[in-house]
Amino acid sequence: MSEKNKEITELIDKIRGTTPTTELQKEVEAIIKADEEKAKIKAEADKKVLEDIKTKEALLRKKDKKKEKETVDTEEELPEPPERDKGGKFKKKEPETPEEQKEQDEADSETVKKLTEQMAKLSEEIEALKKRKNYRTAPPAAKKVDEVDDFIKQNITKDFEMVV
């Protein structure tokens, strides 16, 4: 019966003009295999590139170490002896600071001043809020009105008592 069912489905597919499902499966499998092969080739190429990078990095590190050893050996500087007075006492030297550092120090001092002023203001506000927290504040002053609003005039009835 299964052979008859296959023949019937093949005939139906031919009549409809569609391809049998097995052919579609074969095409999909072929595409998947081709993608796998491409992925393997790409992975191998990436491995080769990584290995090349690692070897070059190792060579560069070796060269850097050699250069460091050479510079350490050749650049040994002796510290300058401190200057002395006629009496043999050491002279005091003022630290030399470049102009950029002086400008930066001035800018830093200005920002510190601004921040301290802001902190002083904030501390005053905090103290005022602490005091206000425990006591009820007075309501804001109301505007004085000379004439009663038209809306209020219209809604005043006989039953309403006006308190003046």
Give residue 126's pLDDT band: very low, low, confident or very high (50, 70, 90): confident
Q: What is the Cα–Cα distance from 139 to 95, expressed in whole angstroms?
A: 62
Q: Give me the pLDDT at residue 53, please.
A: 93
Q: Give me the pLDDT at residue 13, please.
A: 77
Q: Give me the pLDDT at residue 150, please.
A: 63
Give residue 133's pLDDT band: very low, low, confident or very high (50, 70, 90): low
Q: Give me the pLDDT at residue 43, please.
A: 93
pLDDT surpassing 90 at residue 44: yes
Beta bridge partners of 90: 84
Mean pLDDT taken over the chain = 77
Q: What is the Cα–Cα distance from 164 to 161, expressed in whole angstroms?
A: 10
pLDDT surpassing 60 at residue 158: no
Q: What is the Cα–Cα distance from 60 to 67, expressed in whole angstroms?
A: 10
Mean pLDDT of 37-45: 93
HSE of 126 in the Cβ direction (CA atoms, 13 Å)?
Answer: 6
pLDDT surpassing 70 at residue 114: yes
Residue 145's nearest CA partner among 154, 137, 153 is 153
Tell me which DSSP letter residue 90 carries: B
pLDDT surpassing 80 at residue 89: no
pLDDT surpassing 80 at residue 137: no
